Structure 1
Amino acid sequence: MPTWDNVPKGQMTAAVLTNPGYSADPSDCFTYSTDYPRPTLPSPEWVLCRVHAAGLNRAELRGRTGAAPFIGEFIIFQKEYREEPPKILGEEFVGEVVEAGSASGFTEGEKVTGFLNGGGKAYDGAYAEFSLSHRRRLYRLPATTKLPWNVLAAVPMSMYTAWGALNLAAGLGERRKKDNKPVVVLIHGATSSVGVWGLLVAKDAGATVIATTRNTEKIEKLKAAGADHVVLEDDIDTEVLKIAPDGVDIVVELVGPDHIARCANLCARRGTAVLVGPLNKNWSAGKFEPFYIPPTRNVSFFTMTNSGPGSEDADVDHPTVEALLSDVVHKIETGVYPQEVVVDKTFALRDIGKAHQYCEENRAVGKVVVTVP
């Protein structure tokens, strides 16, 4: 449970998880409430925000079923780990500051995005009119942007995860072109929101992108998003090496850790395979052993940094993330990242169950968003 006493102040609209568990209709798991208790600041380092839109994430789908979260999802809040989901799910939001704690560094009225811990599993999340965020995981959006809230909501965590996997874990920006040929990036699970952002970020950096999908109906959408090549799941082991006979420079592995050996074997010399979140909901690498990794290949993992002493916020600091958000918002505004690629579908909060079902049916290519009245 959270380490503070939070006395509610007033009421708010929220999608409440009243019946967690597997259900043929995810809508049966939620109750739309207009009188849910509105939270108050737990300490001067916290901020209360008016949520305008929230992006959906796989952790929330797992939370809705009652599945225990992976402890790494709790980022700076690992001491508050618990297995059961909260009443309000939601890992991220975009909105405005309503009340800022005296030690938060924020002011009322600022446009912000909150990166919440593990889908709100240590405290209520973003499927609500108001949400709490700790100052270390709240970031300013460009004050002058005119982008609609649903587009802004498609950016934060998926974009940052893709950018971090490519740049912080795999060193995309530091890699040299070989024989004047661009760096080759393979995105395994490219139709996910992180996958689409990986495609956009890699192409913007000048890379050649190979995207994968299980669904032939999504091939043209991935090509429209900028993929140079699209390979079907069953053909990866043969078709990728036809495109890149010496292997790929970077693999962004989104399907699951149990594909780690396969990823490493597709890498070129000094190539890097980066594990991210498991679309297949499997956190285990199975019988994999470290000595399976070829000595001239690398395997890494990317998520937001966890709690700990010293430089635990390195590369998640406000100047780094806010500059990145500003750059990405500008590129959406100028069409470098097309809005129709960034956002797949928008639902109203009242229809959160339908949004979950849409995600679980793997119908999206990109981000699914809910708007909050």
Structure 2
Amino acid sequence: MPSWDNLPQGTMRAVTLTSPRSSPPAACFTYRTDYPKPSLPNSAFCLVRIHAIGLNRAELRARNAEPVSPVEFGIFRNEFHNECPPIIGEEFVGEVVEAGSDTGFEVGDRVAAWAFGGGKAYDGSYAEYTICHHRRLWKLGEAAKSIGWDALGAMPMGLWTAYGAIYLAADTKPGDVVLIHGATSSVGLWGVLVAKDKGCFVIASTRQESKVSKLKDAGADWVVLESQLQNPEVIKQIASKGVNTVLELVGLEALESIPMPVTKRGGTVVKCGILGKVWKMPVGAGLVTAMRKLTTLTTLDEDYDEAGRVLVDAVEKVKNGKYRKDIFLDSAYDLKDVGEAHQRMEDCAACGKVVLLVP
């Protein structure tokens, strides 16, 4: 656990990971009402009352207590350890209840956090309260007061991942052709929304025919089934000049077979999702060949201020109806029903974000 002090002050509700790798998912967790409530370790942190938690595929790996990389600790890289904390969870939305003097936040601010160190460096977001460093915390803006916590909880990490991948990593321009591989995930649906918002032509893929209509409702110009993508000519018939940006969300196992043949010369493939369960793969001749086909491979270097602007803008667009909740929010569960929420995510039954609520 962290090297800095975080002495408890009272108790709170929380879900703890007590039996990793158990089946079903609910057997992995214990719901508690007496878990120690954290306190501020120093003036750079805020204490936040969590109202909603967006679930992420990485938490399926965390549920199995699988090892993580020091890179995943972000600004807490010097706190790297292999042990999984009792509470997992990588993002949340809520209200500041105590603000350190160096944070720039005030009590009552509605905020969002992602990749915030919780669930890795220290206890995560599957709880009623958490601490958060101010460089991992963003204000949601005035419009957030008019939006339910379920919708707000479905926004932060998926929205920023999609936006950052398409516009910062890939430098996509209005009118470009964007292929989103794995588009019914939270990141995928946000990818459709933000790409269409800036005038891109969007091709979205899904394995399940039942989800085609959801992607069309989100604004996708063309929806293809996964089986069709095995033939690159299908995409060439839709976009004769090739694809400018491929947002690859399915997994490492799909990197060589799908994106490479359809990307135009000078185009970009951004790999930032693991919808499958292949977390690593050997770098063999096949992958080397695939990488040679790729003209540009970009990694996303987060910009704190840009992330804040994107988040506030998106909240405004949810308020005015441009981004509809029924598109990006799949379902919401009570915190104590975390096992059911994980099961839905594990089964790939969701179309959009699965959220936990902490009423």
If the length of structure 1 is used for normalisation, what is the TM-score? 0.90
How many Å apart are 1:295 and its aligned residue?
Answer: 6.6
Preserved contact between residue 12 and residue 130 of structure 1 (Cα < 8 Å): yes
Which whole-Å CA distance do the structure 2 matches of 1:109 and 1:197 have between them?
A: 28
Cα distance change of structure 1 residues 31 and 292 upon mapping to structure 2, 3 Å threshold: closer
Q: CA deviation at 1:290?
A: 4.8
Opposite residue 308 of structure 2, the aligned amino acid is: E
Q: In the alignment, is the contact (CA less than 8 A) between 1:15 and 1:127 conserved in 2?
A: yes
What's 2:26 paired with? 27
> Residue 172 of structure 1 corresponds to which residue in structure 2?
172
Aligned positions, number: 353
2:297 is aligned with 1:299: yes
The correspondence of residues 242-321 of structure 1 with structure 2, limited to 5 A, is 242-262=237-257, 263-286=259-282, 287=284, 288-290=286-288, 292-294=290-292, 297-302=295-300, 305=301, 315-317=302-304, 319-321=305-307
Separation of aligned partners in 1, 2:310 and 2:254 = 30
Task: Indicate yes or no: 2:334 matched with 1:348.
Answer: yes
Q: Distance in 1 between matches of 2:69 and 2:57?
A: 12
Aligned to 2:348: 362
2:278 is matched by which residue type in structure 1?
Answer: N
* 3-state SS, counterpart of residue 230 of structure 2: helix
Q: What is the letter of the counterpart of residue 336 of structure 1?
A: K
1:7-86 to structure 2, matched below 5 A, reads 7-23=7-23, 25-86=24-85
Instruction: Describe the superposition over 1:244-299 as per-residue Cα deviations: whole angstroms up to 9, x where unpaired.
Output: 23321100011123433342321112110001021113233532555644577222
Change beyond 3 A, Cα 1:217–1:118: farther
Q: Does structure 1 conserve the Cα–Cα contact (< 8 Å) formed by 2:268 and 2:294? A: no
The letter of the residue matching 2:171 is: G
Q: Match for 2:327: what amino acid?
A: V
| Identical-pair percentage | 47
Q: Which residue of 2 aligns with 1:149?
A: 149
Amino acid of the structure 2 residue aligned with 1:170: A
Please say if 1:214 is aligned against 2:202.
no
- 2:81, 2:277 → 1: CA distance? 18
Q: Give, as a single letter, the amino acid of the residue that structure 2 aligns with 1:82.
A: H
Q: What stretches of structure 1 move > 6 A for 4+ residues in a row?
A: none
CA contact (8 A) 2:29 2:339 kept: yes
TM-superposition CA deviations, 1:97-151 (whole Å, max 9, x none): 1111122221111111122446611111111110111011011111343100110
In structure 1, the gaps of 5 or more residues are 176-181, 306-314
Match of 1:2 in 2: 2
User: Retained in 2: the 8 A contact 1:116–1:125?
Assistant: no
Q: Deviations over 1:154-174 (max 9, x none)?
A: 11111000000000011113x
- For 1:49, the aligned partner's letter is V
Aligned partners of 1:332 and 1:144: how far apart in 2? 9
Partner amino acid, structure 2, of 1:203 = K
Please say if residues 265 and 294 of structure 1, whose CA atoms lie closer than 8 Å, have aligned partners that are also in contact.
no
Alignment CA distance shift 1:42-1:219 (3 Å): same
Cα distance in 2 between the residues matched to 1:163 and 1:106: 25
2:60–2:342 Cα contact (<8 Å) kept? yes
**Conservation of the 8 A alpha-carbon contact between 1:69 and 1:118:** no
Cα contact 1:7–1:39 (8 A) shared by 2? yes
2:320 to 325, 334, 358: 334
Bigger drift between 79-88 and 206-215 goes to 79-88
Q: Is residue 63–residue 119 contact of structure 1 (8 Å, CA) maintained in 2?
A: no
Inter-CA distance 295–344: structure 2 relative to 1 (3 Å threshold): closer
Contact 2:116/2:133 (<8 A) preserved: no
| Equivalent in the alignment of 1:163 | 163
State the distance in 1 between where 2:156 and 2:235 align: 30
Structure 1 letter corresponding to 2:192: L
SS across alignment from 1:298: coil
Q: Select 1:192's aligned residue among 181, 185, 191.
A: 185
Change (3 A) 1:213 1:71: farther
